[in-house]
């Protein structure tokens, strides 16, 4: 038995991309092979590198290949204001849409004890350490207003109260159930400006 043709292997492997079915996988494979091999080679190398080297920032838990991500390493960001998000992708959305110049903390999910996601999995002990240092003046919650999101927010509110940190959350305007990264920039900017005291 000979190995399956490389073209078939490529089409199959492309199915791991979100939203890519058999037809799109074929279209992508032929596009790369016939029109953009250089782009395909570059993508393959960057992808292999990214999959093996990218991990969580020691400080804010976002995705980075460094010990400290670019935002945490940037001395011009205001460490007194900390925006708490669920996912790393939301940092990109906020950076692109708002003029927020503080720092971030990434939970990586929502409280969900039945799935084994408790305070520790969300890094809340690590967040407490940052608050303990008394450097943070305000926490801005940018967490989706779901049941699990609210439970998470409640735990963070307790920490904030314990350390005397001001707690706000971004204004509604973010539609219920909507994903932060798919909201238009204007709405997201307004939500940041209109944040209210919790």
Among 14, 25, 59, 122, binds Zn ion (CB under 5 A): 59
| Residue 103 interacting partner from a copy of itself, Zn ion, none (CB closer than 5 to 8 Å by kind) | none
Residues 18-37 that bind a copy of itself (CB under 8 A): 18, 23, 26-34, 36-37
Decide: helix, strand or coil at residue 139.
strand
Rounded-to-integer distance, Cα 91 and Cα 95, Å: 6
Residue closer to Zn ion by CB (options 59, 130) is 59
Task: Show the tokens assigned to 58.
Answer: 């020691």
Residue tagged 């400006």 (tokens): 193
The sign of the CA dihedral 124, 127, 129, 134 is: negative
Q: Can you give 164-192 as a three-state secondary structure string?
A: CCEEEECCECECCCCCHHHCCHHHHHHHH
Work out how close the CB of 94 gets to a copy of itself at its nearest, in angstroms, rounded to a whole number. Answer: 13
Q: Provide the 10 A C-beta neighbour count for residue 52.
A: 9
Work out how close the CB of 162 gets to a copy of itself at its nearest, in angstroms, rounded to a whole number. Answer: 30
Work out how close the CB of 42 gets to a copy of itself at its nearest, in angstroms, rounded to a whole number. Answer: 5
Task: Kindly list the residues in this chain that would bind a copy of itself in the complex (CB under 8 A).
Answer: 5-7, 9-10, 13-14, 16-18, 23, 26-34, 36-37, 39-54, 63-66, 69-70, 87-89, 92, 181-182
């Amino acid at each position: 038995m000979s190995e399956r043709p490389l073209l078939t292997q490529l089409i199959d492997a492309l199915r791991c991309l979100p939203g890519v079915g058999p037809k799109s996988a074929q279209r992508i494979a032929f596009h790369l092979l016939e029109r953009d091999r250089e782009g395909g080679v570059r993508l393959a190398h960057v992808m292999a590198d990214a999959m093996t080297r990218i991990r969580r920032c020691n400080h804010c838990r976002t995705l980075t290949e460094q010990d400290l991500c670019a935002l945490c390493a940037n001395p011009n960001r205001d460490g007194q204001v900390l925006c708490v998000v669920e996912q790393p992708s939301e940092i990109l959305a906020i950076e692109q849409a708002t003029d927020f110049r503080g720092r971030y903390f990434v939970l990586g999910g929502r409280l969900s004890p039945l799935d084994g996601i408790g305070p520790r999995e969300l890094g809340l002990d690590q967040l407490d350490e940052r608050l303990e240092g008394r450097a943070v003046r305000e926490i801005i919650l940018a967490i989706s207003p779901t049941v699990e999101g609210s439970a998470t927010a409640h735990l963070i509110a307790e920490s904030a109260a314990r350390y005397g940190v001001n707690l706000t959350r971004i204004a509604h305007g973010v539609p219920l159930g909507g994903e932060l990264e798919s909201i238009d920039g204007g709405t997201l900017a307004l939500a940041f400006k209109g944040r209210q005291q919790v």
